[in-house]
């Protein structure tokens, strides 16, 4: 079967690239990264 895991990160591009690279070394794992320039305002506490 097929399993899909979706991870959403608010991180610098280099952090995401590092994670994608490391996950790509796992046997039988395909990794794809999609970037967006959408910015969200943080809620005031």
pLDDT tens-digit profile of 7-32?
Answer: 888 888 999 999 999 999 999 999 99
Banded model confidence at residue 45, pLDDT cuts 50, 70, 90: confident
The answer to whether the beta carbons of residues 15 and 22 sit under 8 Å apart is no
H helix and E strand count, the chain: 1, 0
Distance CA(12)–CA(44), nearest Å, equals 22
Q: Quick check: 43 pLDDT over 90?
A: no
Residue 1: its pLDDT value, please? 86
User: In whole angstroms, how far apart are CA 20 and each of 12, 17, 26?
Assistant: 13, 5, 10
With a cut of 80, say whether residue 39 has pLDDT above it. Answer: no
């Amino acid at each position: 079967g097929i399993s899909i895991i979706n991870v959403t990160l608010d991180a610098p591009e280099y952090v995401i690239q590092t994670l994608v690279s490391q996950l790509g070394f796992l046997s039988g794992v395909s990794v794809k990264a999609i970037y967006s320039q959408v910015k969200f305002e943080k809620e005031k506490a």
